[in-house]
A = this chain, B = another copy of it.
Amino acid sequence: MDVNVIWSYDGGMTAGAPITGGLDFDPIDAARAQWVERDWGAAADGMAAITSLMRAHQIALARVESALRPLGVTFARYEVLMLLWFSKRGSLPMKVIGSRLQVHPTSVTNAVDRLEDAALVTRSTHPGDRRAILVTLTPAGQELAERATKTLNAEVFERPGLEARDVHALLEILTRLRRAAGDF
């Protein structure tokens, strides 16, 4: 038979597929139907939206990381480089980096460790507060930030996989979500 026995185990599956695609139905929509069927209708849209958000993040991150991989940086480190590049002095305290990116202090330590190993940034003690560490962009760091931005713009940001109208609507909705969460 042309259908692998595994795939027919739960009904509805008619063909094997690579892990990145090829299902003949939308698992999230199927889950949403289950929610309605079990009288969790009040939560169905929220469940589907949040689950979709998780998956959309995974898709977007994979694209971004794939574009950046040849340059030897990750998106987390790229964000730090951009923050420094856009700062007036090319340097920021660890704490400010964490606040702007909304990540845990240890995540900043992690990213800066690796950027420092790659000679893209340097660490120095803050002149006005000896507890604080100033992170400064090196020329190599700025050069990489520029190249990475050019790559990301061309390969991802200019073609995010949605029509312009959707991109704009998505941005507005997510901005409201972030504001409601206290992001700014």
Q: Which residues of A contact B (CB under 8 A)?
A: 4-7, 9-11, 13, 17, 19-31, 34, 40, 42-50, 52-61, 64, 75, 82, 86-89, 91-93, 95-96, 98-105, 126, 128-129, 132, 149, 152-153, 156-162, 164, 166-171, 173-184
**Contact B174 A56, beta carbon cutoff 8 Å:** yes
Shortest Cβ distance from residue A17 to the other chain B in the assembled complex, whole angstroms: 6
Shortest Cβ distance from residue A15 to the other chain B in the assembled complex, whole angstroms: 11
State the majority secondary structure of interface residues on A.
helix
Distance A64 CA – B170 CA, assembled complex (angstroms): 21
Distance A151 CA – B42 CA, assembled complex (angstroms): 13
Distance A29 CA – B183 CA, assembled complex (angstroms): 12
**Contact A160 B49, beta carbon cutoff 8 Å:** yes
**Contact B176 A162, beta carbon cutoff 8 Å:** yes
Chain B residues with CB below 8 A from A48, complex form: 171
Q: Among the listed B29, B93, B174, B179, which residue makes an inter-chain contact with A6, where contact means beta carbons less than 8 Å apart?
A: B93
